[in-house]
Amino acid sequence: MNYQKIYRKMRKRYILSALSIFILFTSKQAIIQLQISQMEKMSRAMNVAGSQRMLSQKISKDVLMLYQSDDKKAIESYLTELENSVEKWEMYQNNLLDGEKKRQLIGIHSAKIESMLMESGQFFDKILRASKDILYLFKSGEYDRYQLLEKILIIHNNEGEFLNRMNDIIYQYDEENRIKIKAIQQTEHFLFAIMIILIAFIAVFVFYPAEKTLKRAFMDMNESNENLIRLFRTMHGAIYLVNKETDVIFMSKDAEQFISMDTRDSAVNLKRHIKWLSINLEAVLEQIQKDEKIVEMEVEVQDRYENYSIVLLSVVKGEYRGIQTFLLNMFDITMQKKAEESMKNMAFTDELTGLYNRHFLDMIIHEEIERSERYNIPFSAFIVDLDNFKQINDKWGHPTGDSVLKKVADIISENIRMSDYLIRLGGEEFIVLMPHTNLHGASFAAEKVRNAIEIAEHPLVGTVTASFGAGERKKGETYRLLYDRIDYALYEAKESGRNCVREA
């Protein structure tokens, strides 16, 4: 038998197998990364839509305060705020429209969202024109209260419709993001299934034929131990040939990294000299003796340098020189596992604060609401929104603003229970979900957090404050309705002078 030819054939199969796994894994990561990137673009658009909603409410409030105020300084202040709000409002609306055009070019365009934006445009235009008219009238000084009232009525008559359209747009973005998350999970499961099938294929058509070829060679010839050892040591991957007592007969060069002893000192036994962290090797070999099947499983081991590794273990039953043997192959998949874990963390973690993000909220909230409804368990939540955060950014710069956000995130984390969920919704807004908690408990926790934020000192900014809206879920209430109630409670806290807790 031509051993050189057999060796080249086996080596080619190993290289092709490793290349196939590498290509599949790389493709899997690229596809999931693309889907996550698309989901992030939609999340940013959803944040802009949320800002539009808040700005429209602020514009409505500012024009009303202008109409009611007689103080010259107060009027000048309200005019400045109104002018800034109108400018941002118009810019964000353009960003939303431009963003939809860009998403259309890369294939993630939503016709439904585009239609909603077009519907909201007519109300947006009316409010915008009326707001700019009010600014012109005040700056020119040529107006009467009837003219102001007429413009204010236009704004108030169209604000409700605009808010409804924005709510629908945010909800649609949320729905489409949820679909994206589900698509990522399905894609991951599908590609993982393909990888398992590929590994099984490799085991059946690469490792098993290799074992059969070796067995046939052993039976046909009085093979040389030296030649066989050389063959094992040139094979890629950690490969062991062991007897029933798991004494190693031969092993490859790569296999030595998992042996916790000097292989030159004495005989090697896999049970004693490999630290198996997640399986009983003897039980696995007993299963092979009964079933005579290839066993493939993920196994946790420690190498001779005490490094933790995850390997894919394949075992084949055979014979060598008339004794029962087992051929074990350990394929290191530690880096793949770390990469998968890293991808999951990127999808569900806020980059700035390290807290959970909206994607995580979308993943768990419906299950929590369903559990609360099914078992009649109280479920509460409160929103935290930093007061005057824009002034911090304007005065100290965005890096300082980011450090304030991280400090506040740490303070909230330290003052809630481990069973609570702390999620950054975006900007300076956070939400705390509190399973098994009624309204009193949520308000108490919110007040505790509020006080902790108020007394904390930032090294540059000094003290900051936050406003809170807290509420308990009612029977049959969805998360969306609960959020709307506590969001309105937050608005009342802001209107009441900030730095307080209001219950929904």
In 3D space, the residue among 279, 278, 280, 294 whose CA is nearest the CA of residue 326 turns out to be 294
Give the CATH number, domain containing residue 465. Answer: 3.30.70.270
320/248 same-domain check: yes
Q: Worst-scoring range by mean pLDDT, 89-103, 104-118, 401-415?
A: 104-118
Q: What is the pLDDT of residue 220?
A: 58
329/354 same-domain check: no
Q: What is the pLDDT of residue 107?
A: 47
Q: What is the pLDDT of residue 497?
A: 94
189 CB-near residues (< 8 Å, 6+ apart) = none
pLDDT interval class at 10 (50, 70, 90): confident
pLDDT interval class at 95 (50, 70, 90): confident
Percentage of the chain lying above the pLDDT 90 cut: 29
**Total domains present in the chain:** 3
CA distances for 481 relative to 35, 57, 139, angstroms: 29, 19, 41
pLDDT interval class at 474 (50, 70, 90): very high
**8 Å CB contact between 300 and 281:** no
Q: What is the pLDDT of residue 262?
A: 59
Q: What is the pLDDT of residue 228?
A: 53
421/489 same-domain check: yes
The predicted model scores a pTM of 0.41
Other CB atoms within 10 Å distance of the CB of residue 162 = 24
In a domain, 166, yes or no: yes
What is the per-residue pLDDT across 273-322, written as a single tens digit (0 to 9) for each?
787 777 877 777 777 777 666 656 788 887 767 777 888 888 888 887 77
In a domain, 12, yes or no: no
Total length of the chain: 504
Q: What is the pLDDT of residue 106?
A: 41
- Mean pLDDT, rounded, of the chain: 81
175/34 same-domain check: yes
Percentage of the chain lying above the pLDDT 70 cut: 82
In a domain, 269, yes or no: yes
In 3D space, the residue among 46, 56, 82 whose CA is nearest the CA of residue 67 turns out to be 82
Task: Write out the residue range of the structural domain in which residue 354 sits.
Answer: 349-503
In 3D space, the residue among 448, 499, 498, 440 whose CA is nearest the CA of residue 470 turns out to be 440
Q: What is the pLDDT of residue 105?
A: 40
